[in-house]
Every structure is written in C-alpha cells, then in structure tokens.
Chain A
C-alpha cells in the first residue's frame, strides 16, 4: 500500500451492500419499507421510525450542490490539491445529503443549487466512489 494513496472505505455489515452496488456503478441507498424514507449513510434502522426493515433502491445519481470547500492544504493523501469536497442533496428526497467530491468543475460551477450527476471513480481496492460533476447542456 502506497503511503500517498487515497484512503479507501472498509465496509461494515450496514454498509456492505452500498459498496457492493457502487462497485457496479449503481448508487443505491436503503429505503425504509415501513415509512418509505430514504437514508444515507446506510444505518441499521430508519432514523425516522426506527424500523430495521429496508430495501436498497436505485437512485438516479442526480443531485444539487448545497455547499463546498476548496482544499489547498493536502491533509488527505492521494488527492491532488486543489480539490473540492462538497455536500450535495440527492434529488430523490429533500434533505437527503451526501458528502462527496466534485470533479470536472468549470468556471462559476461553485454555486448553490448547481445541478450535478454522479461520476464514478474506481479505486485499486475494488471500491468505486460516487463523485459528482456538473451537468452540462447536451
């Protein structure tokens, strides 16, 4: 393992399906089968009704930008600076937010509400990370 490699996730029993699906470039999160609320990160029980029953639903991979930072000091190995960690809101549910990293940024893309789409980063450890990039007019 290189000391300059990007940190990689180690799944728990609660998160193992999440990382298995991302390996296939599918963004899936648990949906409570009792109250219908989506949750992320994946947890053992629904945060609203505490039900343990859930199913893994496929998301569109679309999100909007909530906030961001431009990192200039390289405190995390394996990610060239500057880079842009961000908080995004997944379009499937108000308030369903995800911490991610923005890529393929153009000028003026760093603004609240910017429309984003998932952009997969495959790692050397078999995991794929859901990064996000601005949606461009086609």
Chain B
C-alpha cells in the first residue's frame, strides 16, 4: 500500500438563498476558511483546483456570475506561489483525485479545492430554454424529457412498479435527511421542523412520482478543502482524512477493493441525494442492500447499514452538488462532526452523483503504509 494523501482542512460558508452576495464572495470565504482550518496561510498553497459547473438547466455559465473557476479565484485570493491550477468538470471528487495526483507526483505540497454553488435571481432554476437543442439532448428535450426530474421520475416509476413500492416507502429518506439537518450548523433546513409523512405525501407534485420534498433545494454556498501528503497533514492542527480509494462510473463497488476497506468497516456513508430516490438506489448498487430492499431497510432499525447522510444530505442542507457530502465525510473521519459524530468513524464513504454517473471516495483515519 502506498502512502496516502490526506484532506487536512475544510472551509464552508453559510448556505442560503441570498444571491445579493456574489458567487465569488461565497467561494473566497470558503477558501480562506479552509486554509486557516489547515493551519496554513495562502502563501503555502501551490495548487488550486476549481469545479465551476453550474448544474441547473437555466444557468448562464458565466464565470463570476453563476459559477466560479480556479482561474478567477487565483487572482482574487492573491495566490503568489501557485505552480499548478486546473478547472475540472464533474464533481468535487474529481478535485480530490486531481489533487492527490499532483501531490503524489511531487508537483504540489498543499492543494486547495473550491466548489461554489449559486443561482441567479432572475430565472427559474430548472427551466430549460426554448429553441434549438444540440447534441445528445436532441433525443430527449423536444419530448419534454430533460430537466433531471423527468429522467429520474421515469426510472423511479419503473423501480416502484418492479418492487411494488409507493411514495410512502420513500419517506424514511426525507425524515432522516431533515432530522440530521437539524444537527448541521450550515444546513438550510437546520431550524425547520421535520416534515410529517402527510406533509411529504401532499407536497406539490413536480414530475410524478417525484414531489417537491424529494428534490434538493437550490442554494448559494461554497465549501473548500486543503490536501497534502500524509507527513505534512500530520503536522496540521486536525486529524487528517486520508484518501484510501476512489472509483467512478459503472464499477461502483470497486471502491471497496481498491481501498482494502470492506462494507462492514464503513461506519458512515454520505450518499448523494439530489433526489431522495438516489439513496436507496446507491445503497443497492454499492452492495449494502439487495435490489429493491433498501427502502424497507431504511424504514426499520438498520444496524447493518452505515450511518447515512449524517449532515442531512443535500435534501437537508441544500444543493451543493456533493461538496457538502465530501465536507461531512472529512469531518466524520477527523472526529470533528460535533453533535453528528458517529462512533468509530474510522472510514467514511463519500458518494457523489446520480446512480448512473456516480463517483466514490473512501476516506480513512488510517494513513496506510
């Protein structure tokens, strides 16, 4: 086993619906907080990673408008010692993997990754544009199938039919998200009462069988992290969260083999929940549950499952497209999750993305050898 790279600092902003602040303002605050949390100064940072994609159909994709790139942030942070900067597509785990490569290659000592989310006030978040549709979407969007809700609602209907499930069976996912959000100081819903089953079932239908409370809330906010080699991370103020293994795309459960950490040794899992239905699907595809059984497992005491979405997930915290899941995985492994801390959280799985485009990262307290 080779020496592991670690995440040694985490920074966040408040998560809000306040778009009077700019996207850069959120990103800068998260970046500054992450560097301070790692016990470093901005002059220590020699690698900077961005992940600027706004995921909503109505995004204008303007750098500094509704997304923010590393290229834009480098100057605003006044980083003087950068030797590597990269903006990545995909998800927050892509930043962690890219940072790991730069550190293992010896190119960088301290890599800062920043992911911000933002929506502009003058548009409907998920509304597709009229007009010409180019590329793959020409076979879906003209039929009204495009914004992600329709795509996953169609799969959800098939899943419900196949396993004789109803919306009521999904309520435990909503319940656990909103209960856990009350323990997360960043969460948008931290002060809100947990919706009842009736609240859930009577919420506005969006794309049936998906209803309003099955969808994560568009928010403005950012998180950032600092990575370094194991020896450097150990000199920091907190217990490092080591990157033990990664996988993505179709071979979901390769993350267990690559990390050498089995499912039963994972005490806590942050499972991407842009839509509630993703949680049972991922528990099944990651091998924690047999197909069609995850919702029943979540509804009853589930000792054989890891603690799930301890920070409330995106359904409880707001839609940060997975950087919130990564933040919580790091805090759990580092023993810094406060009232949410899971006992013996030696390993945490972070899963980001929809079940057909999923990224997995295993974090561990163990440095490896």
Contacts and interface: CB of A to CB of B under 8 A. Distances in A.
- Co-complex (A, B): yes
Contact of B133 (A3, A9, A41, A72): A9
B158 interface: yes
Interface string A1-14: 11111111111100
B158 A72 contact: no
A8 B133 contact: yes
Contact of A9 (B142, B153, B157, B209): B142
Interface of A: 1-12, 15, 40-41, 66-79, 83, 85-87, 98-101, 112, 123, 127, 129, 131
A128 to B, nearest CB: 11
User: Which range contains the number of B residues in contact with the other chain?
Assistant: 35 or more
B61 interface: no
Contacts of A131: 143
B161 A72 contact: no
Q: Top 5 A-B pairs ranked by shortest CB distance?
A: A9-B138, A85-B145, A69-B153, A67-B158, A70-B208
B127 interface: yes
The interface centre, meaning the residue of B138, B141, B144 with most chain A CB atoms within 10 A of its CB, is B144
Nearest to B147: A75
Interface stretch (B15-23, B177-185, B199-207, B290-298): B199-207
Contacts of B300: none
A127 B154 CA distance: 25
A7 B133 contact: yes
B143 A3 contact: no
A85 B131 CA distance: 19
Contacts of A87: 154, 158
22 contacts: A7-B128, A9-B142, A10-B132, A10-B133, A12-B138, A67-B161, A69-B149, A69-B209, A70-B205, A71-B144, A73-B206, A75-B126, A75-B147, A75-B149, A77-B127, A79-B144, A85-B144, A87-B154, A100-B143, A101-B143, A101-B145, A129-B142
